[in-house]
Amino acid sequence: MQSLYDIPAPAKLNLFLHIIGRRTDGYHLLQSAFMLIDWCDTLHFARRSDGQISREDLNVPLPADDLNVRAARALQQATGCTQGAHIGVLKSIPAQAGMGGGSSDAASTLLALNRLWNLKLSVQQLSVIGLALGADVPFFLSGGHGWVEGIGEKITPLSLPAGRWAVVKPDAGLDTKLIFSDPELKRDSEPATITGFAADAAGKTQIPFGFGRNDLQAVAQKLCPGVNQALQWLDDKGLSGRMTGSGSAVFAHLQHDIDVGNMLMDAPGALQVRLCSSLDVHPLLGWANSDGKIKV
């Protein structure tokens, strides 16, 4: 089957993550700054005329009803589209890492099939579908970096300076539900402001990108020794590490020129280390209309 689209699905880093409260339904209220980076999965799409959604795992076996399949079916149901698709998934972003790989794949699936099926939905309409799939999906549809609030659905575009990052993923992953259900999780951080964060990111404070903390990190370190190992490895290199999302990946901003080659070669086998750069915008920016013609 001929592939019609070969598209990327980039990962993200949470430059900070504060929990500022909790809703009555149990969902946590957060504030975070999401940065897109150039660690990407690759998705291949081909149109099917029989209305079926099929998926081919090109390297890593995925669950039968993963987010790519669920996103495609949700788009069909929202629009009444009778076309189908075959999706090939080449995974690179680690699972259970806090880097948004599954959500990014789902967002790229929505954008690709919106174009492949000529549905002409807007980003806003796709985001309604995406939010039902996962709280991070609307961010990956928004087209750039973002100041994220609520349960992840409130997104304000952010202009961020370019950055280089060492991203370190331990062997073990982390279950987000275990972290958010832990009684020791800090849930009462004071609300932050975009102005305060932006001043830090622009280097107007002592440590660029040193704003705040990740409120999930202490619990993650208790649950997953690999997080501690990754943070210690960065510290041994003179780098200040922080966990992204609910982990288990950690990252450090590379402020100065360093011998990255030697650093990567020196990584223990239990750690996956990758040098990443921030993206200016999402690679699929503009793949959805500014306003759609189909109500969902």
Backbone angles phi, psi at 134, to 5 degrees: 180, 145
What DSSP element (H or E) covers 139? Answer: helix 137-142
* Residue 283 near residue 10, CB atoms below 8 Å: yes
| Catalytic residue from among 12, 91, 169, 237 | 12
* Residue 100 near residue 136, CB atoms below 8 Å: yes
Distance CA 112, CA 93 (A): 19
Assess whether 50 carries a catalytic annotation. Answer: no
Residue type, 274: R
The tokens describing 114, both together, are 């919106």
Assess whether 177 carries a catalytic annotation. Answer: no
* Residue 48 near residue 83, CB atoms below 8 Å: yes
The tokens describing 81, both together, are 């589209």
| Catalytic residue from among 41, 91, 105, 136 | 136
Residue type, 38: D
Q: Where are the beta strands (DSSP E) in the chain?
A: 5-22, 28-48, 53-57, 84-90, 146-150, 154-157, 164-170, 241-243, 250-253, 271-277
Q: Which residues are catalytic, by number?
A: 12, 136
